Amino acid sequence: MIDALYLDEQNDLINIVRHRQIEQRREEITVNITKAHQEYQQGNVFRGTVDDVIAELNND
């Protein structure tokens, strides 16, 4: 089916798909940022240096 398209049409199709993928990734990033912000507001985010994180993990 795609082989039946002219080369320019194939390139247009590739660009359309690429842009859709970019937009989907942006939406995923937006959701992740929203979730992270909510977690931070609820106090569920650990803040500290790498050494602090390692110490916290060793305490468990």
What is the total count of domains within the chain?
1
pLDDT of 20 reads: 99
What is the 8-class DSSP label of residue 21? H
CA 15 to each of CA 8, 10, 42, 58: distance values in angstroms, whole numbers, following the listed order: 11, 9, 41, 49
CA distance 30 to 23: 11
Domain assignment of residue 47, given as a range? 2-58
Q: Has this prediction a pTM greater than 0.75?
A: no
The whole-number pLDDT of residue 47 equals: 85
pLDDT tens by residue, 3-46: 999 999 999 999 999 999 999 999 999 999 999 999 999 999 88
Structure tokens at 22: 């970019």
- pLDDT at residue 37, rounded to an integer: 96
Residue 15 one-letter amino acid: N
- CA dist 53 and 51 (Å) reads 5
Q: What is the pLDDT of residue 14?
A: 98
